[in-house]
Structure 1
Amino acid sequence: MTLKQSPNSETGAVTEPPLVLVTGPSGAGRTTAINVLEDLDFEAIDNLPLRLVPALVAAGGADRALVLGLDPRNRDFSTEAMVDMIDMLKARRGLKTTVLYLDADAEILLRRFSETRRRHPLSPAESPELGVSRELDLMQPVKERSDVVIDTSDLNVHQLRAEVERLFAPSGRRLAVSLHSFSYKRGIPRNVDMVFDCRFLSNPYWEPALRVHDGRDQEVQEYVMSDARFQGFFDRVLDLTLSLLPAYREEGKSHFSIAFGCTGGQHRSVTLAETLAKALAREGQQVSIRHRELPGQQLK
């Protein structure tokens, strides 16, 4: 892997969210890099016509970093137009523009096209070899204007993801965790990664004073936690979760969901979701909660 970094030519203090232009030859990993940045909370727009970029940047008003995917597939692409646009953006005061160029050896690009059996965008009716050669020639001046070059010839998807995260999120990408509570009467929520059945715990429903409340209330939580089996169960769930999250993050997941189920989805499962959310937040995790059976509940 080779990296080239050069200082941005902007002048003045940065006052706008950063802009990253992702470019490079087809098959070098542009889409993967854009997806990684989107997972890092960049607003992503791919294959935007070059003529629209200045107007988009001039409009401003966004409070999120922006990543734009630009390449010869753009209908109005030309090497000169793209170089001029890069120079214009880098000269804009208050805007930090970074050009990320994904590169790879011609033989590697050709092999990747052969594996996917796709037509090369620059030679749809001709050989992929000709398309790869044309694109590398077109993109060379853009590569010379770039701030960061990542050669992906020897990288897999996970290694490229890690490199982009290292460059644009030095503190590490945060895995978003969502916690769900539900009633088994209505079935397990769709698309959850891990499910725990907590129907073995003491049920507050059978206590008249607690029945009308739910697992967000302190009295209900104290009742559920008073079960001698609660603490051991909770500690194991927490330890398992904390041990798995880094592994899933390294694997490239950006979101992981955990569901707790009980009979009515009002008391025990809600208590577990709320308690685990607090514990994970203390560990620095980004957590959201959804109580499916509680009226008017939304992600928070």
Structure 2
Amino acid sequence: MSTLRFLRTFVAIAEHGSFAAAAERVALTHAAVGQQMRALESELGRPLFSREKRSITLRPEAYQLLPQVRQLLADYEGIVAGDKTENNVAGHVSIGAIVSGMGLLSKCLVEVAQVHPALEVTLATGRSSDLIVRVGSGELDAAVVIEDSRRPFRGIGWTHLYDEPLVLLANRGQIRRKDDFDSLLETSPFIRYDRATATGAQIERLLRRVGTRPRQILELDSILGISELVRQGVGVAIVPMLAHSGWHKDPALRVFPVPDGIYSRRVGMLEPSRKGHITGIIRRHLVGIMSNPC
């Protein structure tokens, strides 16, 4: 069983970025973590870390081992829980989701609960960046978040679920017959989505590509808040087309696709290995829902 403990420590190092952070996570001293990793390298017959004077980092081949290690630990946890085939799974997990993913996640959990009534789930919602931090700290066991190309999810499992394409949102009552994406951006007050976010940075790249400098009047970090301001006729905005938003059916709103249609944000499930035998069930069910939409 010592190898399993070593593998858990190995995953903790990958997820938290250092021996010191992993030591705190698995309740060991820094020296004990080092001893475990040397023993693991000896048992596997290969180096897992690059050791320099002031830093120790995972080698690329070590990252390639992570999926197998996570699966091995998840299988073992399933055996300990009493059922490896996912029947009668019990336990508690805390899962977060961005606002647009909460409906999908809630639907998934209702269906999972019918199969696994002893499973308890605590839900949380928030900004993607905050949820990612909470997953990394161990406060959340998994989360439905936005992929950020600026900060890759190294050492943590990621499964793509769906895309939310960028669109121009305008008030239907303020649109002239000849208006299109370009004319609305040039002539209408512009409500900008927070540039500090990955999505906000993507919107900025889009504006640079089309060569338009809109007349900005506000900058907000709430997509739903922005959509409400557009509904009230305050201005236009470029935002992700939130899943299940109903904007296309809203009589007060008009949705315009962005040029080329190549800009979108990727939403998926961020999932460490801590409770993989449970979060794996939820992930597979989410993927199933997206593969067979009603």
TM-score, normalised with respect to structure 2: 0.26
The higher radius of gyration belongs to 1
Looking at secondary structure, tell me which structure has more helix per residue: 2
Between Structure 1 and Structure 2, the one with more strand by share is 2
